[in-house]
Amino acid sequence: MYFDCTTRNFAAIEVAPDAPAVIARERCLTWRELHTEAQAWCRRAGEFGLARDLPIMIRGHKEASFMVALCGALMLGAPFVPLDTLYPAQRVNGIAAALEATLLYDAGTDCFEVLRAGPPRALQERDLAYIMFTSGTTGVPKGVQIGIEGVCALSAWMDADFGLGPTPVFLNQAAFSFDLSMYSVFGALGSGGAIVLLDRTAAAVALEVAALIAQHAVTVWVSTPSFAQQQLLNPGFTAAALPSLRTLLFCGEPLPTPLARQLRQRFPGVPILNTYGPTEATVATTLLALEESHLAGDGGVLPIGRPKRDSLVYCDDGELCIVGAHVMRGYLNRADLNQSRMFLRNGQRGFRTGDLGSVDASGMLYCHGRSDDQIKLNGYRMELLEIDAALGALPGNRPAASVPLRRPNGTVARLVAYVETGTPDAVLPVELAQWKTLLAQRLPAYMIPSELRGCIRLPVSLNYKIDREQLAQAYRNGTAP
Ligand code: AMP
């Protein structure tokens, strides 16, 4: 059995219905059980008025019921909005308001919550698969609307070009609110394979991660490079100890050459796939199966490969641009951004990524980082301007700036912040004593700077933007900015 995204329904239901489909900490579901539970979920959601083109917020963290709800929503044609329990209530409320959503399903309690009375409002965009909220520069997350055609194309691409073999078993580590997790969701659903949901507690212990891989014979590792780096601390993270692993699949941030080399040593002969793409273009758009020649390089950034067969990727004035059916339908209610970031080319949607790129004579693509203030920290995408806005809303409403501290290879190791206090010492006024707790009401924990220091005035660069580089230098030197 498998889930056919084109028909939005389970297919080949008589084929291996007792094979595992979803493996979670609290319970496992066979394909037959997933099918039956998804049908029951549709009935229950229908009683609450959920129907085609109405958004359904799904909150939870790696429960089997989360997968049931995702399937149910796809069957109903109701775009799902995945929200990890990492998100503070204020953020969830803001998202609900932006969607004008009336219904939330909590996978932890298996309960529906009616968010507001009155008739639900259908979304303007029809036939979406999901809406993923990512960090937004204005201080409010922005909703990336992905059409069903985007996920159909993703499944087809994985099937045709990833070499994952029959009934792959995927590791699912990234939170459902990040599109990286959709790799294993649609990879497993589309192939009739299985998905192993790794919760945060297990993910924090490398030995437990390896034990789960062994126990469930995971064949496809899916993560950011940062998460794989942590596993290297476990000497048992090797092909000898984990013989089921057939593919190491990466996306979401640059894959450093030294990490790729170590993985090649630990997993000789196991394909390492470096894929690239923003949430705005359904998980990934380019693919590179690493070869020895790539690893022999000078240790810099690895190429990101070539565009998937039904898409076009090119550099315009040094910026990577993506064209294809898998490009989002637009940001929800953000005509301004849709105007500046999206375009049409030969009748297909295009997206300006904000990534600096290049392409060599053979058509091989490279990504050289961002042209704006979007960063990745521990694999999480965030806009520094959103963090600045939250810092600026702390008591006193002082100007403040978040500052990424980078490693020599350019990746962000840590985030700190400065706030204008008017005094030369770094000490914070009393009213800011609880700054971390206050920020946590608004931002998920992974976006909260590890330190906040006072300064007389935030330095600005020649174009009157906050000079984060100068702040980073001051931090490193221990001097007052
Ligand atoms: P997200 O929307 O969270 O998937 O983040 C997308 C951004 O992550 C891209 O615009 C790039 O800046 C970065 N990114 C994703 N994959 C890669 C990769 N393989 N190499 C370099 N940067 C990447």
Spans of all domains in the chain: 2-298+327-334, 374-477
Residue identified by tokens 């149910």 is 72
Please tell me the distance between residue 224's alpha carbon and the centre of ligand 1 in angstroms. 10
pLDDT in tens, 328-344: 999 999 999 999 999 99
Please tell me the distance between residue 308's alpha carbon and the centre of ligand 1 in angstroms. 16
Shortest-distance Cα residue to atom 6 of ligand 1:
278
Cβ atoms of residues 88 and 444 within 8 Å: yes
Q: Name the region of 422 (left: φ>0; alpha: ψ -120 to 50; beta: rest).
A: left
Which stretches in the chain have pLDDT values below 70? 298-300
380 touches ligand 1 (CB under 6 Å): no
pLDDT at 480: 81
Give residues with Cβ within 8 angstroms of 85, minimum separation 6.
59, 60, 61, 108
Give residues with Cβ within 8 angstroms of 229, minimum separation 6.
259
pLDDT at 264: 97
- Nearest atom in ligand 1 to 283's CA: 4
373 touches ligand 1 (CB under 6 Å): no
Distance CA 221, CA 331 (A): 30
Smallest CA-to-CA distance from 61 within 114, 106, 28 is with 106
DSSP state of 181: H
- Nearest atom in ligand 1 to 286's CA: 19
DSSP state of 462: T
Distance CA 310, CA 325 (A): 8
Please tell me the distance between residue 251's alpha carbon and the centre of ligand 1 in angstroms. 7
Ligand 1 pocket test, candidate residues 251, 290, 367, most atoms within 8 A of CB: 367
188 touches ligand 1 (CB under 6 Å): no
Q: Which helix (H) or strand (E) holds 197?
A: strand 194-197
CATH number belonging to domain 374-477 = 3.30.300.30
Kindly tell me the burial class for residue 325, based on how many C-beta atoms sit within 10 Å of its own C-beta (0-12, 13-18, 19 or more): middle
The C-alpha angle 195, 56, 388, rounded to 5 degrees, equals 90
Distance CA 51, CA 82 (A): 17
Please tell me the distance between residue 348's alpha carbon and the centre of ligand 1 in angstroms. 22
Give residues with Cβ within 8 angstroms of 43, minimum separation 6.
none
Distance CA 471, CA 433 (A): 21
Tell me if 2-298+327-334 shares its fold with 374-477.
Answer: no
Distance CA 45, CA 57 (A): 12
**Phi then psi for 114, rounded to 5 degrees?**
-80, 120
Distance CA 48, CA 69 (A): 14
157 touches ligand 1 (CB under 6 Å): no
- Structure tokens, 353: 């990524």
Residue identified by tokens 């990879």 is 187
pLDDT at 299: 66
367 touches ligand 1 (CB under 6 Å): yes
274 touches ligand 1 (CB under 6 Å): yes
State the average pLDDT for the chain: 95
Q: Which fold has domain 2-298+327-334?
A: Rossmann fold (3.40.50)
Per-residue burial over 272-303, b = 16 or more CB atoms within 10 Å of its CB, e = otherwise:
bbbbbbbbbbbbbbbbbebeeebbeeeeebbb
Cβ atoms of residues 350 and 342 within 8 Å: yes
pLDDT at 54: 97
Chain centroid offset of residue 359 CA: 25
**Phi then psi for 33, rounded to 5 degrees?**
-65, -40
In 10 A of CB 424, how many CB atoms?
Answer: 11
